[in-house]
Amino acid sequence: MTAIQISNVEKRYKSLQALGGVSLNIEEGEFFGLLGPNGAGKTTLISIIAGLNRPDNGSVKIHGHDVVSDFRAARKKLGVVPQELVFDPFFTVRETLRLQSGYFGLKNNDAWIDEVMHNLDLTNKADTNMRALSGGMKRRVLVAQALVHKPPVIVLDEPTAGVDVELRQTLWKFISRLNREGHTVVLTTHYLEEAQAMCKRVAMLKLGKVVALDSMASLIRRISGSQLIVNMTHGDLPDDLRSLITHPETSEHGKKYSLRINEYAEVEQILKRLRESGAIIDEMQLQQADLEDIFIQIMEKGTV
Ligand SMILES: Nc1ncnc2c1ncn2[C@@H]1O[C@H](COP(=O)(O)OP(=O)(O)OP(=O)(O)O)[C@@H](O)[C@H]1O
| Segment holding 279, helix H or strand E | none
CA distance 302 to 300: 6
User: Please, which residues bridge with residue 185 across strands?
Assistant: 31, 154
In ligand 1, which atom is closest to the CA atom of 190? 25
CB atoms within 10 A of CB 285: 11
CA-nearest residue for atom 30, ligand 1, is: 39
- What spacing in Å lies between the alpha carbon of 90 and ligand 1's midpoint? 30
- The predicted pLDDT at position 303 comes to 64
- The predicted pLDDT at position 251 comes to 63
User: In whole angstroms, how far apart are CA 189 and each of 33, 74, 148, 219?
Assistant: 8, 24, 23, 17
CA distance 68 to 75: 10
In ligand 1, which atom is closest to the CA atom of 208? 14
- Does the structure show a pLDDT above 70 at 225? no
Phi/psi of residue 189, each to 5°?
-160, 150
Q: Does residue 41's CB lie within 6 angstroms of at least one atom of ligand 1?
A: yes
- Does the structure show a pLDDT above 80 at 214? yes
Phi/psi of residue 229, each to 5°?
-105, 120
17-34 pLDDT tens trace = 999 999 999 999 999 999
- What spacing in Å lies between the alpha carbon of 124 and ligand 1's midpoint? 36
- The predicted pLDDT at position 304 comes to 62
SS3 state of residue 288: coil
Ligand 1 mutation target, pool 9, 10, 13, most atoms within 8 A of CB: 13
Question: So what's the ipTM on this one?
Answer: 0.96
SS3 state of residue 229: strand
Q: Where are the domains of the chain?
A: 2-221, 224-288
Indicate the class that CATH gives domain 224-288.
alpha beta
SS3 state of residue 40: coil
Alpha helices in 181-264 (DSSP H): 192-198, 216-222
CATH ID of 2-221, from 3.40.50.300, 3.40.50.150, 3.40.50.1000, 3.80.10.10: 3.40.50.300
76-115 pLDDT tens trace = 999 999 988 888 888 999 999 999 999 999 989 999 999 9
CA distance 81 to 169: 17
- Contact between residue 193 and residue 291 where contact means Cβ atoms under 8 Å apart: yes
DSSP letter string, 61-130: EETTEETTTTHHHHHHTEEEE-SS----TTSBHHHHHHHHHHHTT--S-HHHHHHHHHHTT-GGGTTSBG
| Segment holding 132, helix H or strand E | none
User: In whole angstroms, how far apart are CA 286 and each of 139, 212, 232?
Assistant: 37, 27, 15
User: Please, which residues bridge with residue 92 across strands?
Assistant: 129
Q: Which amino acid is at 68?
A: V
Across the range 60-76, mean pLDDT stands at 96
CA-nearest residue for atom 2, ligand 1, is: 13
User: In whole angstroms, how far apart are CA 63 and each of 25, 38, 71, 90, 150?
Assistant: 11, 29, 12, 35, 14
How many Cα atoms sit within 13 Å of 158 on the Cβ side? 14
